[in-house]
Homo-oligomer: A and B are copies of this chain.
Amino acid sequence: MAVDRLTVVGRSVPRLDAHDKVTGAARYVSDFILPGMAHAKLWRSPVPHARLLAVDGARAAAAPGVLAVCTADDLPVKRLAYGPAYKDQPILAREVVRYAGEPVVAVVADTPARADAALALIDVRYEELPAATNAEEAQAPGAPVIHTTLDRAGHFRDLDGLRPVAGTNVCQHYRYERGDLARAVAEADLVVDDVYRYPALSHHALEPHCAVARVDADGITVWSGTQHPFPVRKDLAEIFDVPLAHVQVVVPLIGGAFGGKCYTKIEPLAAALAARVRRPVRLALTLEESARTITRHSVVVRLRTAVRRDGTLLARECDVVLDTGAYADIGPRVATKAGSRAPGPYRIPCLRIDARCVYTNNVPAGAYRGYGVPQVTWASESQIDVIAERLGIDPFTLRERNLLKRGEEYVAGDTPLDGDMADGLGQAARAIGWGAPLTRNRGRGLACAMKDGGGTHAVSTAVVHINADGSVILLSGSVEVGQGARTALAQIAAETLGVPFEAVVVPAPDTSLTPYDHGTSASRSTTVMGLAVAAAAKDAREQLLALAAKLLDAPPSALTIREGKIAHGNRTLTLAEVISGHFGLVGGEVTGVGTFVPGEWSGSLGGATVFWETGMGAAEVEVDRETGEVHVRKYVSAADVGQAINPRECAAQDEGAAMQGIGPALFEARVGERGQLLNPGLIDYRVPTFADLPEALDSLLIENADGPGPFGAKGVGESGTFCAAPAIGNAVARAVGVRLTELPMTPERVWHALVSKGASP
């Protein structure tokens, strides 16, 4: 039986969570109330680096409603530290604090207000230590070494291995080299050498981190808006030394995540406090506290590129330095990703890459949409335009000449490129009007990038239950963070089963009830979980057809299934008739199981990716020479989605990503001073709003059904973030002749650049 034409996949059905979100009925973790639930508030370090001398919590403990005042030593845990790369981060700081804002003492009280009030009564004595508050300081001779020993978490394999540099703050040094670099440089017609800077960013999901935990004889239950329920379960099992089956992580809807809710965050603290006070505990951070919990890496990229006169890229040296803050989080893998993607999606014979992930006394940096790639793409795609300008070659032509072609391997053993980037970039260029005349102070810019998508070593399992009335329950651990995963997976299940979309319901992930999934990141859900869902649905469909074959007295292969009906010639049975024909009138259901296990690791620049996520961007800007303000008049983002499961949602993902790329291109950045975050909240920290929308923002979906996912799908959602900054930067350069190397391109910076260039308004 073959699905001969798509009926559900490829349709922009409304999102399953749309109604609840629009009406306010949607339930987030912070909406949970448990009987006897207490509330936790945190005392955070005011200084970036200090030795803790003493904590006096007696006055706080005596305050009204206070149930407990806990330091690290008071937590009933078997191990205090956790982290996906190194177990370097304590649940509460112990002996030393490593960044300003680090939680040191937790107060649990019967109301949030009483917990908050008691914080002021806590007396912490500490001795300040010299702090390294950026990666340069942290790598300087004599810098304080922030972690003297490192305990590997065991999640990394050989080929994407952890390589810390002993006795330094470098917790990961990713290196790659090929070809004879010196010779290539010597033979080159042009060598350009530039340094680009990308700022630290706050995720600022509208929903700050929140966890509700209960610990009793049934085990540990944590409700948390995490992107990684199963890895969080694993961490909790290790921290409390209990079997995985005794830990339940439940994830309701999430109000945005963007990587800031990857891996374990506040869940161990909530659970430890619940175990301590023997009551359920709710730990709800403020937005400002979330900004002190995790950040995007600020990155400095030095690129030295050798090129022939005709534009052929010969060699590229990439030095990438990431400030990962006080705890590594997933920083080492971000560094690997940034390093491996720094050369850009080009055919370059000689490469030398050094990417360093550096501990500093800043807020820990971790995953953030497209991690590593937007930062290095800002550098590499800016420099491609620099080269084009120096050689007098059209930037599109230069790129086209060097871009990897479909089927090419970046490194032997990599997954061959599964799309046509030159074609995609061409589409974006045409859409922006590349080459058409422009008025004064206007310019157009291009950029393109690729990223290995689908995650690393990431297993997904799905279960499909077909109920007695033909309605379907799809169990999947993929988290709905606003990206529409539930909807896309329901479409895949419906299409594969031959039932209407409306027949499929997707409950929220729950590690005790929904099957294993590694997590929701790396644009993986549609492709990787999608394959598991398709396999589970196929398993169920085959069982159904076998049951129907008996009832219809025909071989299963002769049956068709569509819109909830199984047909053989003129005879049709509804799914309900088939199921009750087998199980009887009372009830029963057909259960299918599907698992995706990724292939073995083999490549060396990020490895055998599940698919390549490629993004192409084109911007048209107008620069106000008097103020330096950059207006994005038009922005086109092209995403190669293989097959759009839900075109509207794919475009929405891509548009949202582009907007999230425009933020740091023009105005968005964390501002720090001596380790103090000066703009934790949304008053001082600018995120893009509707007012910042380009006059025209278009998303082009490239669909050649050439992805490895169900129905030829590839992942989407990160690629839109890659190109906005360099495309805008390139457009600014072409508009007014100034090249910025540091983001964001604020009016002040642009104005200064214009002035130093001597350009007149």
Binding site for B on A (CB under 8 A): 19-20, 23, 25, 31-35, 154-155, 157, 216-219, 230-231, 234, 237, 243-246, 248, 456-459, 461, 463, 465, 467-473, 475, 502-505, 507, 510, 512-516, 518, 582-589, 591, 593, 595, 597-598
Contacts and interface: CB of A to CB of B under 8 A. Distances in A.
B595 A591 contact: yes
8 shortest interchain CB distances as A-B pairs? A243-B471, A245-B471, A459-B588, A513-B513, A245-B505, A19-B217, A244-B467, A516-B589
A441 to B, nearest CB: 49
The count of identical subunits is 2
Given A33-B33, A33-B34, A587 B230 contact: yes
B243 A591 contact: no
B465 A585 contact: no
A138 B515 CA distance: 55
Nearest to A154: B585
A585 to B, nearest CB: 6
A631 B630 CA distance: 97
Contacts of A32: 35
A504 B248 CA distance: 14
Contacts of A468: 234, 244, 516
26 contacts: A20-B217, A25-B217, A33-B33, A33-B34, A234-B587, A243-B470, A243-B503, A244-B468, A244-B469, A244-B471, A245-B471, A245-B473, A456-B586, A457-B584, A461-B589, A463-B591, A468-B516, A475-B513, A505-B512, A516-B588, A518-B586, A583-B597, A584-B597, A591-B593, A591-B595, A593-B593
A231 B518 CA distance: 34
A468 B155 CA distance: 13
Contacts of A513: 473, 475, 507, 510, 513-514
Given A33-B35, A503-B243, A587 B512 contact: no
A463 to B, nearest CB: 7
A263 to B, nearest CB: 11
A685 B591 CA distance: 46
A473 B218 CA distance: 13
Contacts of A504: 245
Contacts of A465: 515-516
Contact of A216 (B20, B457, B472): B20
Given A584-B459, A586-B155, A505 B219 contact: yes
A585 B246 contact: no
Contact of A597 (B34, B459, B582): B582
B467 A243 contact: yes
Contacts of A458: 586
Contacts of A582: 597
Contacts of A518: 586-587
A32 B36 CA distance: 11
A23 B516 CA distance: 32
Contact of A586 (B459, B461, B584): B459
A512 B463 CA distance: 12
A332 to B, nearest CB: 15
Given A33-B35, A231-B586, A510-B513, 14 more contacts: A20-B216, A20-B217, A157-B584, A245-B503, A245-B504, A245-B505, A246-B471, A457-B585, A457-B586, A459-B587, A473-B513, A507-B513, A516-B589, A593-B593
A456 to B, nearest CB: 8
A255 to B, nearest CB: 16
A110 to B, nearest CB: 15
Contacts of A31: 35
Nearest to A84: B586
A225 to B, nearest CB: 16
Nearest to A474: B245
A588 B461 contact: yes
Nearest to A584: B457
Contacts of A503: 243, 245
A245 B472 contact: yes
B588 A597 contact: yes
Contacts of A472: 245
A25 B248 CA distance: 17
A155 to B, nearest CB: 6
Contacts of A243: 467, 469-471, 502-503, 505
A472 B512 CA distance: 10
A463 B512 CA distance: 12
Contacts of A512: 473, 505, 507
A505 B246 contact: yes
Contacts of A586: 155, 231, 456-459, 518
